[in-house]
Amino acid sequence: MNETLYLAALNKMMTGDWKMAHSLITYFGSASAVFKAAPKELKKLLPDIDPAAFLSGEVIEDAAKELEYCRREGIEVLTIEDEAYPSRLAETTDAPLVIFKRGSRKLNGARFLAIVGTRHCTPYAKKYCEMIAEYMSSLKVKPVIVSGMAYGVDTMAHQAALRYGLDTIAVTATGLDTVYPVSNRNLAPRIEERGAVVTEYWSGTPAYPYNFLSRNRIIAGLSDATVVVESRIHGGSLVTAKAAFNYNREVFTFPGKLEDECYAGCNLLIAENMAQLARSAQHISDALGWYQEAGAEQIRSRQARYETLSPEKKEILKALRQCGEMDAARIAAYCSYDISETSLLLLEMEIEDLVKHISTNKYVYL
């Protein structure tokens, strides 16, 4: 049988103990060999698991059904042995053996930046997400923004990325047949169009609380660096930050007043030397060595150019910044413009590098 089938089955059985899953493959030589091993050998390595679970064939049948489901639904199945499997994640000791992906974006590339934070956030969190996305969009080599598509900061990070023309990847804590939270059911397809939604969980997996903490290691593992824009003293974003720190990846966070509970987690990361104090988006970029093609001068130049635009073009940019990608008809309706007038303006703005024309006649702010 295909080794992918056995890797998917083993990943399912060993969920929560990925290090042991890797150890089993190392010991027996392959995932398929694990399921063909002698019960005595399995019992020696896994004293708390009945060897019959490996030998009954039931989990293999379930894995075959899952892979067939993925084929029908256009979900890409990536094993840790595949070239397309994210190389950064593969470096970690607790990487899943299999991940599932829906979307156009490959999971390898020059730059990946995680932006995470609390679900119940202040307006400052949105400001920081916007600031980071705007600056990163000015780089010649634009980073992919990684987050978890949860309430609050995660959603803001994805929306800001899309608004400024950046690719973005969402790591979910459910199967890909579920969008959680439901409020993001319209956001998920937009992420897939400009990036990808990925998970380690099979279809039918609901939003178990533990899964959210577990998937945070994947957010950190996919990324060169993690930025915590806002966090209380207890929160999933601290789990992501600690995972990134343990993976020897850069961690940044914005500080807050000592009495501000919304930033208690950020202050703790700085106090424990687990995160650098982020002074600005440019500081984050420079610290990562992403400064050579960008700079504040480029942003100032763009701001100066904005002041010279006609009121009509400013209104279109405002619409795209507030709403994200839109087609010409929606832009015209939003701005109360004639559709033909809007199409002409968009053509001019594309030539002027103010907007970018993407698939299905949609435009994004640059």
pLDDT tens digits, residue range 330-343? 899 999 999 989 98
Q: What is the average pLDDT across 272-281?
A: 93
Q: Is the model more confident about 206 or about 357?
A: 206
Whole-number percent of the chain with pLDDT over 70:
95
Q: Alpha carbon of 35 to those of 39, 40, 298: distances in Å?
A: 10, 13, 57
pLDDT (tens digit per residue) in 308-338 = 899 999 899 888 877 777 888 889 999 999 9
Q: Is the model more confident about 140 or about 303?
A: 140
Residue 197 has pLDDT above 80, yes or no: yes
Measured CA angle at 35 (ends 30, 36), to 5 deg = 90
Tokens of 195: 């990036």
- Fold for the domain defined by 112-287: Rossmann fold (3.40.50)
Question: Per-residue confidence at 144, pLDDT binned at 50, 70, 90?
Answer: very high
Residue 110 confidence (pLDDT): 86
Residue 295 has pLDDT above 60, yes or no: no
Residue 294 confidence (pLDDT): 42
Strand 362-365, strand 326-327: pairing: antiparallel
pLDDT (tens digit per residue) in 210-250 = 899 999 999 999 999 999 999 999 888 999 999 999 999 99
Locate the domains of the chain by residue range. 1-73, 112-287, 309-365
Residue 98 has pLDDT above 90, yes or no: yes
Question: Per-residue confidence at 354, pLDDT binned at 50, 70, 90?
Answer: confident
Residue 130 confidence (pLDDT): 94
Residue 301 has pLDDT above 70, yes or no: no
Q: What is the average pLDDT across 150-163?
A: 95
Residue 360 confidence (pLDDT): 62
Residue 204 has pLDDT above 60, yes or no: yes
Burial class (CB in 10 A: 0-12, 13-18, 19+), 287: middle
Average pLDDT of every residue of the chain: 89
Q: Alpha carbon of 92 to those of 98, 211, 246, 285, 327: distances in Å?
A: 14, 18, 9, 24, 41
Residue 366 confidence (pLDDT): 66
Residue 292 confidence (pLDDT): 47
Residue 291 confidence (pLDDT): 66
Question: Per-residue confidence at 82, pLDDT binned at 50, 70, 90?
Answer: very high
Q: Are 80 and 90 in contact (CB under 8 A)?
A: yes
Render the burial of 186-216: b for 16+ CB within 10 Å, e for the rest: ebbebbbbbbbbbbbbbbebeeeeebbebbb
Residue 199 has pLDDT above 80, yes or no: yes
Burial class (CB in 10 A: 0-12, 13-18, 19+), 20: middle
Q: What is the average pLDDT across 157-163?
A: 96
Q: What is the average pLDDT across 6-23?
A: 88
Which of 68-82, 217-231, 245-259, 289-303 has the least mean pLDDT?
Answer: 289-303
Question: Per-residue confidence at 275, pLDDT binned at 50, 70, 90?
Answer: very high
Residue 293 confidence (pLDDT): 54
Residue 300 confidence (pLDDT): 66
- Quote the pTM value: 0.80
Q: Assign domain 309-365 one CATH number from 3.30.2000.10, 1.10.10.10, 3.40.47.10, 3.50.50.60.
A: 1.10.10.10
Highest-confidence range of 179-188, 255-264, 311-320, by mean pLDDT?
179-188
